[in-house]
Structure 1
Amino acid sequence: MSRARSLAVVAAVVAALTAWLPAAPAFAHTKLTGSTPAAKGTVSKPITELTLTFSGLIKKAGTTVVVSGPDKVSYSDGAAAAVDRTITQAVRPLPVGEITVRWRTVSSDGHPIQGSFTFTNKAAPPVAASPSPTAAATSSPAPAAAEPTVAAAVPVSRTAAGEGSSPLGWIIAAVAAVLALGGGLVWWRRRRTAA
């Protein structure tokens, strides 16, 4: 009996181990294993995106990355893209100084994970181009070029107005009115005499 009891205990231990071993990875939650730029690292060239790498698969839903500068302004450009074990976040030109990255995502087992890290940016953002003197000189003549068009339009409208109010127009209109009146009088007299 003692041998049967020993076999039963061994069988119970093997069954427990078999049931526990597949579940063991569930206890090891997904973690951030690396990033580009690296945490506590220094960047000397401008970057347009950063990547976070994890120990396990992650889900896109619920993934956010906020990249902020010393001014506490967010420089994240659009939504983060999550594929397999990597999150990629596009960024606008970063200011010089300490950059803080705050991230949040969901591991494949549904467990939400989050964290933050910093790195130093030494690459100055590009300066916005100011208008060159040549461009200013080129744009100045444009209003002057428009002036002749306006000036040319004035004589045209005066000519059009002058044609309608010229003495010749009035004379032609008066002659036509006299002829119409004369014709009407002749018709009226003929009718009266005929009656």
Structure 2
Amino acid sequence: MRRLVIAVAVVLGVLAPGAPAWAHAQLVAADPAKDAVLAAAPAAVTLRFNERINPDFITIVVSDPAKQRVPASDVTVDDVSGTLTLTGALGNGVHTVAYRVVSVDGHTVQGSYPFTVADPGLPAASVAASVAVAPAASVVAAPVGEGGSGGARVGLLAGVGVVVAVAAVWLFRIGRRRSGL
């Protein structure tokens, strides 16, 4: 039993340094929100993250239904929030907000999400313009909640699997030695 406790302690000790890899900035609020249907076009897009973001390395882009970039001013950053003021008009249809930020720990986090403008005072969106098309390679396309740290999580899970497998083999061999096999 004592060896099992030691093995568990070793496994936990190996995993403890990996925990800070999950400390990247994550999008916690957006205005307009993901999948929102708005009766009027927004004048700005504001994204709020769970930690301070680097103002020198932030990009927020709004694309129209035809996947064209909507004209906007430079992004302003206030600690954990970034705001993009739109200077071009948004018509009816599904628009995409794409973002890329560098969190304080130096890791890049990116994602995108849609929102819809359904302003009764504007002409209806054409069917061709409102049909969702696969984003171009140059557009950030990770959904909200899926940041650039996904590879780190997969690597961490693979590392956990290796450690658990090694511990299991080690415990199995110890058990065989005790039984004299």
Please state which band the TM-score falls in when normalised by the shorter chain: 0.5 to 0.7
Q: Quote the Cα distance in structure 2 between the aligned partners of 1:64 and 1:119.
A: 18
> Which of 83, 87, 102 is the matching residue for 1:88?
83
Partner of 1:105: 101
Q: 1:82 to 1:28 in 2, by over 3 A?
A: same
Q: 1:72 aligns with which of 67, 71, 78?
A: 67
Q: Which residue of 1 aligns with 2:37?
A: 42
Is the 8 Å Cα contact of residues 91 and 122 (structure 2) preserved in structure 1?
Answer: no
CA contact (8 A) 2:61 2:70 kept: yes
Letter of the structure 2 residue corresponding to residue 115 of structure 1: G
Q: May I ask how many residue pairs the two structures share in their alignment?
A: 116
Residue identity in the other structure for 1:58: I
Q: TM-score, normalized by length of structure 2? A: 0.54
Over the matched positions of the two proteins, sequence identity in percent amounts to: 32
Structure 1 residue ranges without an equivalent (≥5)? 1-8, 128-195
Distance 1:126-1:120 versus aligned 2 partners, 3 A rule: closer
Structure 2, gaps ≥5 residues long: 1-5, 124-181
- Per-residue displacement from partner, 1:90-133 (whole Å, max 9, x unpaired)? 11221110001111110010101111000001126879xxxxxx
Runs of 4+ in 1 over 6 A off after TM superposition: 124-127
Structure 2 partner of 1:183: none
Q: 2:53 aligns with which of 42, 54, 58?
A: 58
Instruction: State the AA in 1 paired with 2:108.
Output: P
- Per-residue CA deviations over 1:124-152 (Å, capped at 9, x if unaligned) read 6879xxxxxxxxxxxxxxxxxxxxxxxxx
Gap change, CA 1:35 and 1:76, over 3 Å in 2: farther
Which structure has greater helix proportion? 1
CA distance in 2, matches of 1:49, 1:126: 18
Pick 1 or 2: higher relative contact order, CA cutoff 8 A, min separation 6: 2
Question: Residues of 2 paired with 1:88 and 1:125: CA distance?
Answer: 26
Taking structure 1 as reference, are residues 72 and 27 closer, same or farther at Cα in structure 2, changes over 3 Å only? Answer: closer
Using the TM superposition, give the Cα deviation of residue 59 of structure 1 relative to its aligned residue in structure 2, in angstroms. 0.6
Larger radius of gyration: 1
* 3-state secondary structure, aligned to 1:110: coil
Question: Of the candidates 110, 123, 134, which is equivalent to residue 114 of structure 1?
Answer: 110
Q: Could you say what the CA RMSD is over the residues aligned between the two structures, in angstroms?
A: 3.1
